[in-house]
Structure 1
Amino acid sequence: MAASASASESIDARTVVITRELNAPARIVFEAMSKPEHVIKWFGPVGWPLTKCDMDFRVGGKFSFAMTGPNGVQNTPFGGTYREIVPNQRIVYDNGFEIEGAGRMVHTITLEEKGNKTLLTFSTLFDTVAMRNEHVGMGFVVGVNSGFDQLNDLVETMAKNAG
């Protein structure tokens, strides 16, 4: 079973926050994050395409993803449940590898429109500080930012095509 945070492990110590400005309105960013035909184009680091993308995008709905590495081997699937969805503003979901005893994390995405751009804040709360440190050490921040680079490219194109 996954370890749980001790009383001495503050929320701040278990959290990673990544903020990005994207070149599209919030409604387009939300669409790119909520539909599998878009998610498959940007999610994950460059060189690790999303090769499994099952989404039931609604509160209580489940998702299951897997990426395939440069060696052609698909990694262990991961997924979770959508906890909160406020169109064009907020998505909250839990996430973890689909194996017995794997730790969990909760991701909170907020979208704040600023003219024709969107400030995206991606906050991840890990079960424990050790889990946070392990993910950061494995390239979590670099990988998420690589995916957000691809997301920005996609939403720029979607915004141009919209109008």
Structure 2
Amino acid sequence: MKETIKHQTVETKEREIIFTRVFNAPRKLVFETYSTCEHLINWWGPRSWPLSYCQIDFKPGGTWHYCMSGPNDGDESWGLAKFKKIDEPEKIIYQDYFSDKDGNINTEMPAFDTVITFDSVDSKTKITVISKVGSKEEVEKLVEMGMIEGFTETWDRLEEHLEDIQES
């Protein structure tokens, strides 16, 4: 299934969820917003689930451990990404997991093989995120959990962050 939501395209396939969106910023800057906590803390996660913890070692073999805190006291969603390949400013490949605060992987939740590409389009940047999981049922579970809405809002926040940093 393929649909357009706001300024992005979302496609679900057998084992994949694919997001595509064009941002009004140069590729180098857009890539940089994915590489440091100083940037990620400003845009990662839906508005009601912003980052409250971020530790990143942005290199192949490095990790990104983070927490999104929800609107109710004690609501937390921890994640752990393990970087496999980074081709600056074109591509990031990582494995993405739900985890706990100590970085232990939650094996009851779907894990993602994620590929993010950054393509220059005139003076803008097209990002494509392909998240591949183990089964069609896992794709359905993630969609039911609100992944598409959450990701859309996250990218709305990225768009705002890019506007802010280009104006300053």
TM-score scaled by length of structure 2: 0.84
Retained in 1: the 8 A contact 2:69–2:77?
A: no
CA displacement at 1:159 relative to structure 2: 2.6
Whole-Å Cα distance in 2 between the matches of residues 83 and 124 of structure 1?
A: 14
Whole-Å Cα distance in 2 between the matches of residues 100 and 135 of structure 1?
A: 15
Match in the other structure for 2:8: none
Aligned-partner residue type, residue 145 of structure 2 = M
- What 5-or-longer segments of structure 2 have no aligned partner? 1-11, 100-104
Match in the other structure for 1:81: 82
Retained in 1: the 8 A contact 2:52–2:68?
A: yes
Aligned-partner residue type, residue 98 of structure 2 = F
CA displacement at 1:88 relative to structure 2: 1.3
1:107 to 107, 111, 114: 114
CA displacement at 1:143 relative to structure 2: 0.5
Task: Assess, with a 3 A threshold, how the Cα gap between structure 1 residues 100 and 22 changes in structure 2: closer, same or farther.
Answer: closer
CA displacement at 1:100 relative to structure 2: 4.3
More helix by share: 1
Match in the other structure for 2:164: 157
Match in the other structure for 2:123: 116
Aligned-pair RMSD on alpha carbons? 1.5
CA displacement at 1:114 relative to structure 2: 1.2
Say which SS state the counterpart of residue 122 (structure 1) adopts: strand
TM-score scaled by length of structure 1: 0.87
Aligned-partner residue type, residue 15 of structure 1 = E
Retained in 1: the 8 A contact 2:31–2:88?
A: yes
Tell me whether 36-45 or 64-73 shows the greater mean CA deviation. Answer: 64-73
Aligned-partner residue type, residue 119 of structure 1 = K
Say which SS state the counterpart of residue 38 (structure 1) adopts: helix
Whole-Å Cα distance in 2 between the matches of residues 28 and 36 of structure 1?
A: 14
Equivalent residue pairs, number = 151
Match in the other structure for 2:7: none
% identical aligned pairs:
30
